[in-house]
Amino acid sequence: MYVTLAALMRLINGINRTIGNLFSWLSLGIVLVCFSVVVERYVFANTRLWAQDLYVWLNGAMFTAVAAFALLRDDHVRVDIFYRPASKRFKAIADLIGVLVFLLPFMVVIFVYGLPFVQRSWGLFESSANVGGMPGLFILKSFIIIFTLLIGLQGLAMLIRSILTLAHRDELIPTDFSYKTQTPLTVKE
């Protein structure tokens, strides 16, 4: 059973790592599009509304797609006065409770309320509200559902990690996803 759970956790981590690494490259596109919009506006006194939409939409797509990757890497914001120096067992219990009580229910709420919003957008083949703006807003809105699914999957991987840690099966947890213990005042030389 633990081996199967570990394999599922590695699969989820691999999916989110791949998507995160792929969509992280959008940051370069965002900078280039934004730079070209600024140059076009202030140097050539011209504006293309679709290009302004493009960098905002790329930004939205990137951040919703890489959110689960940030959760995988433990790069999200956390008030870690107690968490960072805590034992692996404490972290596993805190994550177990946090995922079950907060993360997964919140993803279900976003999914339930977001799905009709996205479906309506697809039904209308919604585009930018700006005249001359980008077509395909329905595709961008689909990232709401993608966000909930990827975060929910990563929450499941966190649950599995917690279960394996509490069952003393740490050898099944990949080293880049295992709990790290730190002392709060460690000085690196």
Tell me the per-residue pLDDT of 87-101, one tens digit each, with 9 for 90 and over.
Answer: 899 999 999 999 999
Query: What CA–CA distance (Å, rounded) separates 66 from 21?
Result: 8
Contact 67, 148 (CB under 8 A): no
pLDDT at 187: 47
Most confident of 50-54, 72-76, 102-106, 179-183: 102-106
Q: Which amino acid is at 29?
A: G
Q: Is the pLDDT of residue 142 over 90?
A: yes
pLDDT band with cut points at 50, 70 and 90 for residue 129: confident
Q: What value does the mean pLDDT of the chain take?
A: 90
Q: Is the pLDDT of residue 156 over 50?
A: yes
| Average pLDDT rounded to a whole number, residues 114-122 | 96
Angle between helix axes 49-65 and 2-24 (nearest 10 degrees) is: 160
Task: Kindly report the pTM of this predicted structure.
Answer: 0.86
Neighbours of 85 (CB within 10 A): 14
Query: What CA–CA distance (Å, rounded) separates 23 from 171?
Result: 30
Query: What CA–CA distance (Å, rounded) separates 180 from 186?
Result: 13
